[in-house]
Amino acid sequence: MSSPRTAAKSDEDDGSGVCRSMFCPKRYPDSVAPEYRWFQTWDTIQQMTKLVNHHFGELAWFAFHGVGDPHASVSRAVLFTLSRQLFGHKVSVLGTTPTAGLWFAAYVKTFRTLGGTLEALATMTEIFAFQINSILLLWAAGMLGAMAEAMNSATRSCILQHFSKEKNNHDVTLKENNQDNAGSTIGVLGGLIVVASINRAGGFNDQTLTGCCIVCFCLCMVHVWTNLASSLVLKIPPGTFFLRHCKTRRYVIVTSGNSLAAAADTLADERVEIFKLPSDQIFGKALMSTNEVWFDQDGQAAADPCAAQLDEDGQSIVLRGEKYQLEACTSLRSSKSASTLFFPPGWPVTMPKGFDAFAAYDLIGGITSTPRKLLHVFIYWKYVAGVGDASKGPAYACLLGLFGTSIGLVSGLISRLKAPILQIRSDPLKP
C-alpha cells in the first residue's frame, strides 16, 4: 500500500503533474483568489484571438510600407515607422501619470475592458489605413495600441496582486506568463494558417482585402467578448477607497484615538480617511489607511496587519459586524507633487540602495538607443522585410516574424518546463 507522499510523487511524475507545476501557482487553488480559474480561461482564449488578429494588422502594415513593391521607398517606411512610434509614445505617457494610475487601480474592470477594445480597434484601423492609403489612420492605430498597452499593463499589475493570497505574487506572475505563452503558441499556429491562406490566394491585395476585413472583424468581436467576460468575473476591490456605511451612508473618519468612526456625511469633510487593502506583505488582505496605519476588524489601530472581512464581490467590508461599501477614490493628498511622475511614492526613503544609479544608467541607455533604433529600422525594412524588393511580399515578411516569434515562445516554454522536470528527477531515491 503506497503512502500519501508516494502517491503525490507519482502524480507529479506524470505529464499532468508537470503541466500543473508549469501553469498553476503553488498550492493552487488555495493560494489564489476564487475567480482565478475562470479569469485565466477567458484571458488565454483572448490571447489566442489577439495574436491571430495581430497578424492581419501586420499584413496591412507591411503592405502599406511597400514590402514587395519595387517602387516603394525605404526612407518613407523608416519615417512612417519612427513617427508612428513617436506619436504612440506621447499618447502612452498619458496612461503613466500618477492620476491615470489611480484611475486604473480604482476601476480595474472598466479600464481592462476598454484596453482590450482599443486593441481590437487598433487592428481594424491598420487594415483601413492600407485600404485608403492614409498615414493619419496608421498613426491613429499606433496611438490606440499604445494607450491600450498602458491600460492593460497597469490593470494587469493590479489583477495579479489581487490574485496573490500568500505572498506569492512572483509565482502568480510567472505562471500567468506561462499561460500567455501557451495561448500565444496556438495563436502563432493560427497566424501561420492565416498568412498561408492569403499567400495562396495571391497575396494581400484588393481581392483578398474584403475577406480579411470580415475575418478580422469577427476575431475582433471574439477578442472584445472574451476580454469583457474575463473582466466580469473579477471580484477586485478598488486600489484606494473611502469607506461608506451601507445603511447610514456616512463616510468613515479616523478619530483622535486612531479608531474608525462613521461620522462624516459628505466628502467635503477633510477628515474623511482614504484606505487601501495591501496584500504583498501579509497572507490575504488587511485594511490600511494611506497614512500606513493598520486597522483590525473592530476598527481600532493595530500594530500588526489583521485579515479584512471582505464580501464575495470584493466591493464591501465588514467592521464591528457592520457592512461598509468601498467607494473608489481617484485622488490622493500625497500625489500632488510633480516628482511622483518620475519617482516612486516616498522616494528616496522607500527605495533600496542603488536605485538612483540604476535609474541613471537606464536613462542613459534610453537616450543612446535612439540612434541604434534608426539604424535597426532601416536594416529591417530594406534587408529583412524587403521594402522595394519585388521578390518578396507582405506574406513573406509576416512569415519571418512568425518564425522569430515561434522560436521565442517555444524556447520560453521549454526553459520553464525544464525546471520542474529537473526538480522531480533530481533525487530519484528519495521516498
* Cβ pair 142, 85 in contact under 8 A: yes
Amino acid 7: pLDDT: 45
Q: Is residue 370 part of a domain?
A: no
User: Pick from 308, 329, 350: which residue ends a domain?
Assistant: 329
Question: Is 70 exceeded by the pLDDT of residue 423?
Answer: no
Amino acid 205: pLDDT: 60
Q: Dig out the grid coordinates for 358 from the structure.
A: 540604476
Question: Is 70 exceeded by the pLDDT of residue 10?
Answer: no
**Is there a single domain that holds both residue 184 and residue 250?**
no
Output 280-289 pairs: Cβ under 8 A, ≥24 positions apart.
280/161, 280/164, 280/167, 280/169, 281/167, 281/305, 282/167, 282/307, 283/165, 283/166, 283/167, 283/307, 284/165, 284/308, 285/237, 285/310, 287/317, 287/319, 289/254
**Is there a single domain that holds both residue 197 and residue 261?**
no
* Cβ pair 117, 227 in contact under 8 A: yes
CATH number at residue 171: 1.20.1250.20
Which of the two residues, 219 and 16, has the higher pLDDT score? 219
pLDDT in tens, 142-157: 899 999 999 999 899 8
Question: Is 50 exceeded by the pLDDT of residue 274?
Answer: yes
Q: Which domain holds residue 193?
A: 12-236+388-425
Least confident of 3-17, 79-93, 253-267, 390-404: 3-17
Mean pLDDT of the region 112-122: 92
Question: Is 50 exceeded by the pLDDT of residue 53?
Answer: yes
Amino acid 207: pLDDT: 64
Distance (Å, whole) CA 126 – CA 139: 9
**Is there a single domain that holds both residue 86 and residue 201?**
yes
User: Pick from 329, 352, 374: which residue ends a domain?
Assistant: 329
Amino acid 6: pLDDT: 46
Amino acid 358: pLDDT: 86
How close are the terminal C-alpha atoms of the chain, in Å?
A: 14
Q: Is residue 278 part of a domain?
A: yes
Amino acid 230: pLDDT: 92
**Is there a single domain that holds both residue 251 and residue 229?**
no
Question: Is 70 exceeded by the pLDDT of residue 372?
Answer: yes
Question: Is 80 exceeded by the pLDDT of residue 289?
Answer: yes
**Is there a single domain that holds both residue 282 and residue 231?**
no
Mean pLDDT of the region 161-169: 82
**Is there a single domain that holds both residue 108 and residue 188?**
yes
Q: CA-CA distances (angstroms) from residue 277 to 185, 232, 241, 310, 314? A: 36, 21, 9, 10, 11
Mean pLDDT of the region 195-211: 68
Mean pLDDT of the region 380-387: 87
**Is there a single domain that holds both residue 312 and residue 210?**
no
Amino acid 2: pLDDT: 47
Q: Is residue 279 part of a domain?
A: yes
The percentage of residues in the chain with a pLDDT greater than 90, rounded to a whole number, is: 10
Amino acid present at 299:
G
pTM of the full structure:
0.80
For residues 172, 177, 178, 183, the Cα torsion angle rounded to the nearest 10 degrees is 130
**Is there a single domain that holds both residue 305 and residue 209?**
no
Question: Is 90 exceeded by the pLDDT of residue 212?
Answer: no
Q: How confident is the model at residue 15 (pLDDT cuts 50, 70, 90)?
A: low
Could you give the count of Cα atoms lying within 13 Å of 188 in the half-sphere of its Cβ?
Answer: 18
Which of 81-90, 255-264, 420-429 has the largest mean confidence?
81-90
**Is there a single domain that holds both residue 75 and residue 156?**
yes
Which of the two residues, 305 and 266, has the higher pLDDT score? 305
Q: Is residue 284 part of a domain?
A: yes
**Is there a single domain that holds both residue 229 and residue 246?**
no
Question: Is 80 exceeded by the pLDDT of residue 122?
Answer: yes
User: Pick from 288, 305, 329: which residue ends a domain?
Assistant: 329
Q: How confident is the model at residue 204 (pLDDT cuts 50, 70, 90)?
A: low
Q: Is residue 99 part of a domain?
A: yes
Q: Is residue 381 part of a domain?
A: no
Amino acid 269: pLDDT: 63
Q: How confident is the model at residue 48 (pLDDT cuts 50, 70, 90)?
A: confident
Question: Is 80 exceeded by the pLDDT of residue 345?
Answer: no
Question: Is 90 exceeded by the pLDDT of residue 368?
Answer: no
* Cβ pair 277, 306 in contact under 8 A: no
Q: Is residue 291 part of a domain?
A: yes
Which of 127-131, 231-235, 291-295 has the largest mean confidence?
231-235
Q: Dig out the grid coordinates for 400 from the structure.
A: 519571418
Task: Name the domain count of the chain.
Answer: 2
Q: What's the whole-number average pLDDT of the chain?
A: 80
**Is there a single domain that holds both residue 285 and residue 318?**
yes
Amino acid 38: pLDDT: 92
**Is there a single domain that holds both residue 204 and residue 68?**
yes
Amino acid 1: pLDDT: 46
Distance (Å, whole) CA 394 – CA 121: 21
Q: Is residue 221 part of a domain?
A: yes
Mean pLDDT of the region 86-102: 83
Give the closest residue to 254 by CA, choosing from 266, 268, 264, 239: 264
Q: What are the residues whose beta carbons fall under 8 Å from the beta carbon of 278, sequence distance 6 or more?
A: 285, 286, 288
Question: Is 80 exceeded by the pLDDT of residue 415?
Answer: no
Question: Is 90 exceeded by the pLDDT of residue 165?
Answer: no
Amino acid 208: pLDDT: 67
* Cβ pair 237, 326 in contact under 8 A: yes
Which of the two residues, 87 and 211, has the higher pLDDT score? 87
Mean pLDDT of the region 245-254: 88
Handedness of CA 348, 328, 231, 224 (dihedral sign): negative
Q: How confident is the model at residue 206 (pLDDT cuts 50, 70, 90)?
A: low
